[in-house]
Amino acid sequence: MSDHPRVITVGITGASGAIYAVRTVAALLERGCSVELVASDLGRRLLREELGSEATVDRLADYVATRYGNGVRKGRLTVHSNKDVGASIASGSYACDGMIIVPCSMKTLSGVAHGSARNLIERAADVMLKECRKLIVVPRETPMSLPQLRNLVQCAEAGAMILPAMPAFYQKPLTIDDLSDFIAGKILSALRIEHALYPAWTG
Ligand SMILES: Cc1cc2nc3c(=O)[nH]c(=O)nc-3n(C[C@H](O)[C@H](O)[C@H](O)COP(=O)(O)O)c2cc1C
């Protein structure tokens, strides 16, 4: 796994689970990735509501450094406006290796499933699908309606990986950080990026 992806887009939307987003961003930066970050308005709101007033998108590099340590400085973080559908990551010619939408709201899921491209997150996801690059969707909703389930299937049929925000318990988590480490670890594994975010199951 040494030749791992270097440029990864992270979309943060207004589903609960902002901690999954910041842990994923921190883990990618710790591995030296360039992270292209874009958050929806509700994504920004949930970051603040769930993690506190310091967790703003525009100062996320400092937030993750304080929370997870200076190892995150190995990577590079670029923040885009969700309104800027002319940003680099809106084009297939930009060398982006993959994209994660974490957490993914049911609204954005619908937009991705239908190729709506109403904002930068949806457009960048559309680009990943049309270019046959890795798109990882991390939905967080329960219970789910039939339209929501159909949108998940439609995204999977289009080539996205559906990686639900469903932490496991066999690794005996004690803290919320243990739970978020597990989901971030699953995401990095899906991108074939080495990590030690949770112990490997050895049988
Ligand atoms: C406190 C709060 C929690 C929410 N949690 C979820 C959630 O877990 N999953 C979800 O799909 N939507 C959730 N929503 C609703 C979305 O934020 C809403 O549908 C929004 O329009 C999504 O927009 P976005 O996809 O552009 O971020 C929540 C909203 C609020 C205010």
Which string of DSSP letters, residue by residue, matches 103-170?
EE-HHHHHHHHTT---SHHHHHHHHHHHTT-EEEEEE--SS--HHHHHHHHHHHHHTPEE--S---ST
**Per-residue pLDDT tens digits of the chain, which is 203 residues long:** 446 669 999 999 999 999 999 999 999 999 999 999 999 999 999 999 999 999 999 999 999 999 999 999 999 999 999 999 999 999 999 999 999 999 999 999 999 999 999 999 999 999 999 999 999 999 999 999 999 999 999 999 999 999 999 999 998 999 999 999 999 999 999 999 999 999 888 88
CA angle 104–179–142, rounded 5-degree value: 45
CA of 86 to the centre of ligand 1 (A): 25
CA of 203 to the centre of ligand 1 (A): 38
CA angle 136–187–71, rounded 5-degree value: 130
The pLDDT tens digits of the residues spanning 58-110 come to 999 999 999 999 999 999 999 999 999 999 999 999 999 999 999 999 999 99
Q: Take atom 4 of ligand 1 and give the residue whose Cα is closest.
A: 15
Residue among 98, 84, 102 nearest 46 (CA): 102
Residue in the block written with tokens 């339209």: 147
pTM (predicted TM-score): 0.97
CA angle 176–74–190, rounded 5-degree value: 55
The reported pLDDT for the residue numbered 1 is: 45
Taking the CA of residue 119 as reference, the ligand 1 atom at the shortest distance is 26
CA of 42 to the centre of ligand 1 (A): 7
Residues 177, 51: Cα–Cα separation, whole Å: 12
Residues 46, 189: Cα–Cα separation, whole Å: 26
The reported pLDDT for the residue numbered 4 is: 62
The reported pLDDT for the residue numbered 199 is: 85
Q: Take atom 3 of ligand 1 and give the residue whose Cα is closest.
A: 16
Q: Take atom 26 of ligand 1 and give the residue whose Cα is closest.
A: 40
Backbone angles phi, psi at 68, to 5 degrees: -115, -5
Backbone angles phi, psi at 199, to 5 degrees: -70, 135
**Ligand 1, CB cutoff 6 Å, lining residues:** 13-16, 40, 42-43, 49, 105-108, 140-141
- Sequence-distant (6+) residues with CB within 8 A of 166 are none
Single-letter amino acid code for the residue at 18:
A
Contact 67, 55 (CB under 8 A): no
CA of 120 to the centre of ligand 1 (A): 17
Contact 171, 199 (CB under 8 A): yes
